[in-house]
Every structure is written in structure tokens, then in C-alpha cells.
A and B are shown apart, each in its own frame.
Chain A
Amino acid sequence: MKRFDARITALRSVATGYRELRYEWPADLPPPSPGRFFTVRAGGRYDPVLRRPFAFSAWSPGGAGEPAEASFIFQVRGRGTRYLAELDTGDTIDVLGPLGTGFGKPRRGSRPVLVAGGIGLGPMLYLANALSIDARDGLCEAPVLALGFRTASLIPDVAMPEGTVICTDDGSAGYRGTVTGWLEGYDPGAPPYLYACGPSAMMAAVGAMAAARRAPYEAALEQWMACGVGACAGCAVRLRTGQYIKACVDGPVYDGNLVDWGAML
């Protein structure tokens, strides 16, 4: 973990309101594993004071004189993400990372089922690509990535692994309905190992299914953060036991079967 100024190597629009940003990754930092995140200063010296957290969507090692690169996909939501969207290639961003606990490996012989909605896309793409390699090596069944969108124009222009399932609320592309609706009718053909990242309602619905099927469930949590390193206790997420964990260090990836989803809505 360290704080560094990173040069932006690419910034492009991938769908209405969504951008992909790539930046140089320092040679002395290990590659970030899927599910881990970083924070970025999104504005001037005084404002906003809270750094904005984002999950990695890809990492490439570079080589032949090219630097390593990290990527993330973000939705333009408020003042911080608007600031990021207006930057250019060659500008620098102030990054603190890599932070947090990422995804674990699926059980041998299980089918990784990855569910993403909205801003959950980036980390799930990264995980799906990593698990495809694991599947080729025989460590698990081929992963299935299911992505939910409101409508076809929001489907991002990014490379997706083979067999990705697209769901749209209005039926303008792929399965008509929510991604959790699709999941209910899906037969994984092997014991499912669930991963999810997206809106709280979706996360809670996947949680209910995981509990019903007694399936392992790794959930990427989203919570407001201040320090990102476990010092402030601001990012608390409630467990079903009533205890709180820190999303920034105990998570953001945490056992979804233990989270009190009712408290997240």
C-alpha cells in the first residue's frame, strides 16, 4: 500500500454515464487482486476532503518499456466522479492503494457464478477474467458472468468473457428482467459458488438465494469511506450477529451469508 501520483494513460466513455480510466501502476507495488480497491483524490486541495473509492477492473503487467497499468470503470454520479471524467490522458491522479481484502478462490469443482449490476461491473469483469484462467487450469468449472442493466444503451463497450449473460429490465437486449430473476431460473450444473457486486437490493436478493441453496457467497460491499485503512471506523457494515466490520480492511469482499442485508437497504 502506498500513496502515489499516477499518470493517466487512457480515459474513455464505455456507456452512457460510464467511463474507463487506466493509469500507470508503480513498479514497486504488487498487482492488485480482483475485489481490492484504491481511493483517489477527486478535486482540489480542500474539497472534497473524502477520497473516492473504486475497485480495479483490470491490471496489465506492461513490459518492453511499457509501464504496468491498472484500470477501473466508474459511473459519473456526483462532483467527485464528474471531476475524474473531465481529466485527460497525461494528467495525474493521486492514488492510495491497493487496499482491502479481495475475492477468495471458489471451491474445487464448483461453478463460479458472478452477478453484477451498475457500478459492480468493473470488479466482476476482473474476477471473471481471472477465474477463466483458473477454469482452464482445472481449478473450477468455467465461470458464468451475469450482468444486469436497465436498458441496452447502458451495456458497456468492454471485452466480456465468453458466455457472459446480459439481462435488461426492458428486454432491449438479452434476458428480459433483473439479473436476480435470471439467476433464479439458472441451473449451474455444478455446486454454485456465488460472487456479487452491485446495488444493495441486488446484493440482498443474491444473499437470500445463497441462503436458500446453502451456497457460498462472496459479496463486494459498498460503504462510505474516510481513511480506507481501518483507522476511522467510518465504513462500518452490520453483520447478522449485530457486530460491525470495517468494509475497507475486513472487506470490501466479505462472506455475504454473514451480512445483515436489511441494514444496508
Chain B
Amino acid sequence: MTQTDKLDLSVQIGSLTLPNPVGVASGTFGYGEEYAPLLDVNTLGALYTKAVTLEPRAGNPAPRLADTPAGMLNSIGLANPGMEAFITDKLPFLRTLGCPVIVNVAGSTEDDYALVVERLGSEDGLGGYEINISCPNVAHGGMAFGTDPALVERLVKRLVSIRDRAPGAASRRPVIVKLSPNVTDIGLIARAAEAGGADALSCINTLVGMVIDTKRKRPVLARGTGGLSGPAVLPVGVAVVYKVSRAVAIPVIGLGGISCADDALQYLLAGAVAVQVGTAIFSRPETPLEVLGGIRDFMEREGVSEVRCIRELL
């Protein structure tokens, strides 16, 4: 029997050590402050911020949300205050946190991504970058990058070289590439990101979906389609992680539909080194901490002392 205090929950993502495998997903946790009254943010394995773009973005027209069976659609459209306001208004709070902060970076052009990663390289208090090449909710860029292997490799190569030239510890921040499930062969895109020098991959972003209001006879979302998330996408994400973690040598972070420890364990068994909880936070803000507790219980029960060894059980 393993003792709880002997459990090694730490996870290695490139040069970054996460204290535990349970993070909170981009776009569902704002910039940390919003949920701080409801759960102890310091105990998270990592906090992935809402997407940051070069310029401020107002986002898509409303309504932006729809209810679906065991899930939801969103078409937020990467609404965010922009890179400079992120640095002045959001980063000071994020720096006070005890957990690693990973900035989710999005853009419409390669230059957009490059300028954000370059600028953030001169700011301290960040653990790494999660490159969002998989947002289904914007007309330009976003998912368009994530579906073309040649574009993915070129973009990642450029961002990695910018990261390498950053001063001090910022030159070692991991570049994590977040993949879209809305592609024909995700293994191809995963290998392209790896070839470009990515330190890790996050799978999955949301799936494209639509809800139609049969009374008003029009789509519920102003933009028509949105991204599906929540329990409904869990088996899709697990299958993607199973496939991708066998296609690449770099670590894979699993997410999509996790709402309890068992869901997270499916990802860890499928080959993920860490997980993120997203939509479930909306239903129950404490979910990430409950998931972590359940992973500990599993490790004790199974006699696994290192969280990175869970995948070997499959």
C-alpha cells in the first residue's frame, strides 16, 4: 500500500514541472481571478488562461452559448482584452499564484502569434505557452492553421525559435500546441507540431456543432455554429489522446469532457501525462480538486506511486 505523502504527482512538460496533473482549461477559467473565491487556485496543477491575441477582441455577436445533451456550445470568438491589457491588468494577479500559469495564445496570422510570444518572452511569472491553432469560432486563423500540417510545422518552428531567443528562463518555457479534433487525420497534425519542435500537445479543443431553435426556426447561436464541449465529448477526446500519444514521442495533455476522476483516469490510461478540466467547472467549480483527489485514491488503490506510470497500466 502506498502512502499518500509518498505519491509523486508531478508531471514534466519540457523544462516545466507541474505540481500535479490536473489543470483548468483555457476559456473556462478566465484569468484566474474570477473563480478565486470558489476554489483554491494555488492547488491546481496548472492554469491555462483564456486566449490572448495581439489586439483586443470584442468577440462574436450574442447569443454565444447554447445548451446541448450533456454538453454545451460556445461561440465566444476569442473575446479578450489583447496582449498589452493582459500584461498590465491580468498578469499581476496571475504572478501571485502558486500554480504554473500557461498562456493560451491565438491569432489570425503567423505574425500575430509570433508577436505575442515574443512580447510575453520579456515578462516573468509565466510557465509556458499553449498555442491555440484549433479555435472553431473565428473566421480567419484559429482552426484554419490547425488543419494544414505544413502550416502547423512552419508556425511552431517560428514560435519555438522566438522562445529560444527570449532572455533568461523564458527561453526554456514549453511551447504546447493545442489540436483541433475537427480534422481528417489528427496524427498527421500532431507529427507536424512535433517536427516543428513543440514540447507537448493538448488534445482536444471543441468540436463544431449547431443547435436549431425549432420554434423560431433559426440557429440558437448568432453565428450559427459553435464549439461543443462537456461530458458529451469525453469519448472523442479519449480516442484522440490514445491515437496521438502513440503517434508522437512528446507528452500529450488530455482534455474534453472531464467531470470526475474516472474521466481523467481514462485520459491518463489512454496515454496523457496530464489533464485539464473545462466545462465541468461551470457546473461544479470544485471539480478540478475532486478530480485530483480521485487520482490520488486510484494510485493508492492500484499501488502506483508515480502519476506518470498510470499509462503503463493499460
| A contact set with B: CB distance below 8 Å | 1-3, 41, 45-51, 94, 96, 223-238, 242-244, 263-264
Task: Show 16 residue pairs from A and B whose CB-CB distance is below 8 angstroms, ordered by the A residue.
Answer: A3-B38, A45-B260, A48-B70, A94-B284, A223-B63, A225-B65, A227-B28, A227-B282, A229-B35, A232-B28, A232-B74, A233-B76, A233-B80, A235-B65, A238-B61, A244-B62
Distance between Cα atoms of A223 and B35 in the complex (Å): 20
**Known contacts A224-B66, A244-B62, A3 near B231 by CB under 8 Å:** no
A3 B285 Cβ-Cβ under 8 A? yes
| B contact set with A: CB distance below 8 Å | 27-30, 34-35, 37-38, 50, 58-59, 61-67, 69-72, 74, 76, 79-80, 230-231, 259-260, 279-286
B62 A232 Cβ-Cβ under 8 A? no
B282 A236 Cβ-Cβ under 8 A? no
B283 A49 Cβ-Cβ under 8 A? yes
Given contacts A223-B62, A232-B30, 14 further A-B contacts (CB under 8 A): A41-B284, A45-B259, A47-B70, A48-B67, A50-B282, A224-B65, A227-B30, A227-B282, A230-B34, A232-B27, A234-B65, A234-B76, A244-B58, A263-B61
**Known contacts A229-B34, A244-B58, A46 near B259 by CB under 8 Å:** yes
Contacts of A94 in B (CB 8 A): 284
Partner of B37, one of A2, A223, A226, A227: A2
Tell me the minimal C-beta distance from B301 to chain A in angstroms. 22
Contacts of B50 in A (CB 8 A): 231, 233
Tell me the minimal C-beta distance from B294 to chain A in angstroms. 14
Contacts of A46 in B (CB 8 A): 70, 230-231, 259
Complex: chain A residue closest to B80, CB-CB: A233
**Known contacts A47-B70, A236-B79, A231 near B62 by CB under 8 Å:** no
Contacts of A225 in B (CB 8 A): 65
Judged by DSSP, the binding face of B is: loop
A51 B61 Cβ-Cβ under 8 A? no
Tell me the minimal C-beta distance from B73 to chain A in angstroms. 10
A229 B63 Cβ-Cβ under 8 A? no
Distance between Cα atoms of A6 and B112 in the complex (Å): 48
B28 A231 Cβ-Cβ under 8 A? yes
Tell me the minimal C-beta distance from B266 to chain A in angstroms. 14
Partner of A243, one of B58, B80, B282: B58
B79 A244 Cβ-Cβ under 8 A? yes
Contacts of B74 in A (CB 8 A): 226, 232, 234
**Known contacts A3-B285, A242-B58, A50 near B65 by CB under 8 Å:** yes
Tell me the minimal C-beta distance from A30 to chain B in angstroms. 13
A50 B59 Cβ-Cβ under 8 A? no
Distance between Cα atoms of A49 and B284 in the complex (Å): 9
B29 A231 Cβ-Cβ under 8 A? yes
Partner of B62, one of A49, A226, A238, A243: A238
Distance between Cα atoms of A236 and B62 in the complex (Å): 6
Distance between Cα atoms of A242 and B61 in the complex (Å): 10
What are the 8 A-B residue pairs with the smallest beta carbon separation, nearest first? A231-B30, A231-B34, A224-B65, A234-B65, A233-B79, A46-B231, A49-B230, A47-B70
Distance between Cα atoms of A96 and B281 in the complex (Å): 12
Identify the interface centre among B62, B71, B76, B280: most chain A CB within 10 Å of its CB.
B62
B283 A51 Cβ-Cβ under 8 A? yes
Identify the interface centre among A1, A47, A96, A243: most chain B CB within 10 Å of its CB.
A47
Distance between Cα atoms of A230 and B37 in the complex (Å): 12
Partner of A49, one of B30, B260, B279: B279
Identify the interface centre among A3, A94, A236, A244: most chain B CB within 10 Å of its CB.
A236
Tell me the minimal C-beta distance from A99 to chain B in angstroms. 11
A226 B65 Cβ-Cβ under 8 A? yes
B283 A41 Cβ-Cβ under 8 A? yes
B37 A49 Cβ-Cβ under 8 A? no
B281 A49 Cβ-Cβ under 8 A? no
Tell me the minimal C-beta distance from B70 to chain A in angstroms. 5
Distance between Cα atoms of A225 and B69 in the complex (Å): 16
Contacts of B281 in A (CB 8 A): 227
**Known contacts A49-B230, A227-B281, A233 near B64 by CB under 8 Å:** yes
Contacts of B28 in A (CB 8 A): 227, 231-232
A3 B286 Cβ-Cβ under 8 A? yes
Partner of B34, one of A47, A227, A236, A237: A227
Complex: chain B residue closest to A47, CB-CB: B70
Distance between Cα atoms of A45 and B34 in the complex (Å): 23
Contacts of B63 in A (CB 8 A): 223-224
Partner of A236, one of B59, B279, B280: B59
Tell me the minimal C-beta distance from A5 to chain B in angstroms. 11
A49 B76 Cβ-Cβ under 8 A? no
Contacts of A224 in B (CB 8 A): 63-67
Contacts of A231 in B (CB 8 A): 28-30, 34-35, 50
